[in-house]
Amino acid sequence: MKNIKAIIFDAYGTLFDVNSAAEKCKDKIGDKWEHFANFWRTNQLEYTWLRSLMKRHKNFWQVTEDSLDKSMKTFNIDYSMRDELLNLYKVLSTFKEVPETLKTLKEKKYKLAILSNGTPSLLNELVKSNKLDNLFDDLFSIEGVGIYKPDSKVYDMPIKKYGIEKDEIAFLSANTWDVSGGGNYGYNAIWVNRNKNVFDNLDYKPVYEIKDLSELLNKI
């Protein structure tokens, strides 16, 4: 990749560990906490896609609540834990290498931004709670266009804001469908494959596959 001017990150699952809310409650949830967390995340994503297709938009926080309610019923988790899990979701932990990698990229003078399904208030709380708010130039939320990833209007937002070419952006996501969405749009899309998964067949091959964000420093 050459002439990269901006590095855009997905938030959930890429910078922030979506399982960390349930993990912090694992003593109460028990051994099923990880299965529960994965189920919650899967349903959350499915709801975003289905609502986009149905043209019945709800914001990401409402979708997160709806998918949690289904997940708690499915796993027979005491409803009294609902508020605790939701509050923890607002302050998800980063993956361990994220803060230092972002600081290094900032020192290299790249423009850094998040492009996420999350609402503006959710993204602001996430970065502030992890003391990352001084590292990002922008937090782009899909609420700006009213439809979820991987709609092309979402990937349009940084281009319109920065006035740069698509191939001057490096886009990183841990979600294969998001990598394909950004890549098919025209970004240099990089897959953060933390869990040794298999990439989806969606007409795109990532520019790079890395196991965590620190490997990006050797690619740009």
Q: Residue 103: its pLDDT value, please? A: 98
Domains in the chain with CATH codes? 6-17+92-218 (3.40.50.1000), 20-89 (1.10.150.240)
With H, G, I as helix, E, B as strand and everything else as coil, classify residue 90: coil
Nearest to 5 by CA among 102, 113, 140, 132: 113
136: pLDDT strictly greater than 80: yes
Q: Residue 168: its pLDDT value, please? A: 97
Q: Residue 2: its pLDDT value, please? A: 81
Q: Given 10, 27, 78, 178, which residue is catalytic?
A: 10
For the stretch 88-108, pLDDT in tens is 999 999 999 999 999 999 999
42: pLDDT strictly greater than 80: yes
DSSP H or E stretch at residue 168: none
DSSP-derived letter for residue 167 is G
85: pLDDT strictly greater than 90: yes
Nearest to 173 by CA among 152, 157, 149, 153: 149
Average confidence (pLDDT) over 55-74? 98
Q: Residue 207: its pLDDT value, please? A: 97
Average confidence (pLDDT) over 175-186? 98
- Return the structure tokens found at 180: 């394909």
Q: Residue 15: its pLDDT value, please? A: 98
169: pLDDT strictly greater than 80: yes
CB–CB of 143/114 below 8 Å? Answer: no
In angstroms, rounded to a whole number, what is the distance separating the alpha carbons of residues 140 and 119? 9
Neighbouring-strand partners of residue 209: 191
CA dihedral 41, 43, 44, 48 (to 10 degrees): 140
Average confidence (pLDDT) over 25-53? 97
Q: Residue 187: its pLDDT value, please? A: 98
Mean pLDDT of the chain: 97
In angstroms, rounded to a whole number, what is the distance separating the alpha carbons of residues 160 and 156? 6
Percentage of the residues of the chain whose pLDDT score is greater than 90: 98
Q: Residue 198: its pLDDT value, please? A: 97
- 10 is an active site residue: yes
CB–CB of 140/113 below 8 Å? Answer: yes
pTM: 0.96
In angstroms, rounded to a whole number, what is the distance separating the alpha carbons of residues 37 and 22? 6
CB–CB of 193/215 below 8 Å? Answer: no
**Who contacts 76 (Cβ-Cβ below 8 Å, separation ≥6)?**
none
Q: Residue 1: its pLDDT value, please? A: 75
